Amino acid sequence: MPKCTIDGQEIEVAPGTSVIQAAEQAGVRIPRFCYHDDLPVDGNCRMCMVDIEKFPKLQIACGTTVNEGMVIKTQVTSPKAKAAQKDTLEFLLVNHPIDCPVCDQAGECYLQDQYMDNGLHDSRVEIEEKINKRKVVDIGPIMLDAERCVVCSRCIRYEREVTKTNLLEFVNRGGSTQISTYNGGPITHEYAGNLVDVCPVGALLSKDFRFKMRVWFLKETDSVCPGCSTGCNMTIDHRDGEAYRFRPRRNVEVNKSWMCDPGRDLYKMIGPDRVTTAHRFGGAVAPASEIVHEVAAKLQAAGANSAFLASPRASNEDAFTFKKVAQAVGGRLDFRVGNPQDKVNVCKDEILQREDRHPNTQGLLDQGLGVTGVEALLADCKAGKVHVLVLQDGSMLNDPGVAEAAKGVPYVAVMATHQGTHLINAHAVIPVAMWAETDGTFTNFEQRVQRFKRAFDAPGEARPRWEVGLDLLERLGQPMNAASAGDVFIEMAVATPAYADFTHRSLGPLGKSLATANKAQASA
Among 329, 312, 282, 325, CA closest to 374: 312
The CB-of-246 to other proteins minimum distance in angstroms stands at 21
Among residues 1, 34, 40, 39, which one has the least CA distance to residue 17? 1
Q: Which stretch binds other proteins (CB under 8 A): 112-120, 183-191, 256-264, 507-515?
A: 112-120
Residue of the chain from 71, 76, 100, 286 that contacts other proteins (CB under 8 A): 100
Q: Which listed range, 10-18, 94-102, 178-186, 433-441, lies at the site for other proteins (CB under 8 A)?
A: 94-102
Shortest Å distance, C-beta 212 to other proteins? 8
Site string for other proteins, 122-161 (x = CB under 8 A): -------------xx-------------------------
CB of 214 to other proteins, least distance (A): 4
- Kindly state the helix (H) or strand (E) to which residue 24 belongs, with its residue range: helix 19-25
Segment interacting with other proteins, rule: CB under 8 A, options 101-109, 317-325, 355-363, 429-437: 101-109
Q: Which is nearer to other proteins, 136 or 284 (CB)?
A: 136
Among positions 87, 90, 108, 113, the unique one binding other proteins when judged by CB under 8 A = 113
Q: Please name which of 58, 322, 45 lies closest in space to residue 199, comparing C-alpha atoms.
A: 45
- 300 to 319, contacts with other proteins by CB under 8 A? none
For residue 36, the minimal CB distance to other proteins (Å) is 22
**CB neighbour list of residue 129: distance below 8 Å, 6 or more residues apart:** none
**Hey, which residues does 512 pair with through a beta bridge?**
449
* Identity of the residue, 205 or 482, whose beta carbon is nearer to other proteins in the bound complex: 205
HSE-up of residue 228 (Cα within 13 Å, Cβ side): 24
Which of 16, 56, 101, 282 touches other proteins (CB under 8 A)?
101
Shortest spacing between CB 209 and other proteins, in angstroms:
12
What is the three-class DSSP state of 406? helix
Stretch that binds other proteins, among 207-215, 362-370, 373-381, 483-491 (CB under 8 A): 207-215
Closest by CA to 415, choosing from 462, 474, 485, 480, is: 462
Q: Compute the distance between CA of residue 44 and CA of residue 24 in angstroms, rounded to an integer.
A: 20
Q: Which conformational region is residue 241 in: left (phi greater than 0), alpha (psi within -120 to 50 degrees), or beta?
A: left
Closest distance to other proteins from the beta carbon of 113 (Å): 8
Query: What is the Cα–Cα distance from 134 to 145, expressed in whole angstroms?
Result: 6
Nearer to other proteins, 118 or 345 (CB): 118
How far apart, in whole angstroms, are the C-alpha atoms of residue 398 and residue 417?
13
Minimum gap (Å) between residue 211 Cβ and other proteins: 4
Question: What is the footprint of other proteins within residues 208-247 (CB under 8 A)?
Answer: 210-211, 214, 216-217
Q: Which stretch binds other proteins (CB under 8 A): 99-107, 446-454, 463-471, 483-491?
A: 99-107
Closer CB to other proteins, residue 138 or residue 290? 138
Nearest-approach distance from CB 275 to other proteins, in angstroms: 28
Give just the sign of the alpha carbon dihedral 462, 464, 466, 471.
negative
Greatest CA separation for the chain:
86
The rounded distance, in Å, linking the Cα atoms of 285 and 125 is: 66
Amino acid at 390: V
Q: Cβ 199 to other proteins, closest distance in Å?
A: 17
- Among residues 41, 71, 83, 106, which is the contact residue for other proteins, using CB under 8 A? 106
22's enclosing H/E stretch is helix 19-25
Length of the chain: 524
Nearest approach in angstroms of CB 101 to other proteins is 3
Residue 121 touches other proteins, criterion: CB under 8 A: no
CB 167 within 8 A of CB 182: yes
Q: In the stretch 421-440, what mask flags binding to other proteins with x, by CB under 8 A?
A: --------------------
Q: Rank residues 51 and 145 by Cβ distance to other proteins and give the closer one.
A: 145
Q: Helix (H, G, I), strand (E, B), or coil: what is residue 448?
A: strand
- Within residues 372-391, the interface with other proteins by CB under 8 A covers none
x-or-dash pattern for other proteins, window 247-276, by CB under 8 A? ------------------------------
- Least distance from other proteins to the Cβ atom of residue 278, Å: 33
Calculated CA dihedral for residues 340, 343, 345, 349, nearest 10 degrees: -130
Q: Give the nearer residue to other proteins in terms of CB position, either 207 or 453.
A: 207
Cα–Cα distance between 79 and 232 in angstroms, integer?
41
Tell me how far, at minimum, the Cβ of 145 lies from other proteins, in Å: 9
User: Using CA atoms in the order 78, 79, 81, 86, what is the torsion angle rounded to 10 degrees?
Assistant: 150
Which residue, 164 or 210, has its beta carbon nearer to other proteins?
Answer: 210
Measure CA of the first residue to CA of the last residue in the chain; give whole Å: 26
Q: State the virtual CA torsion across 416, 322, 255, 108 in degrees, nearest 10.
A: 50
Q: Note the residues at the interface with other proteins (CB under 8 A).
A: 100-102, 106, 113, 116-117, 120, 135-136, 210-211, 214, 216-217
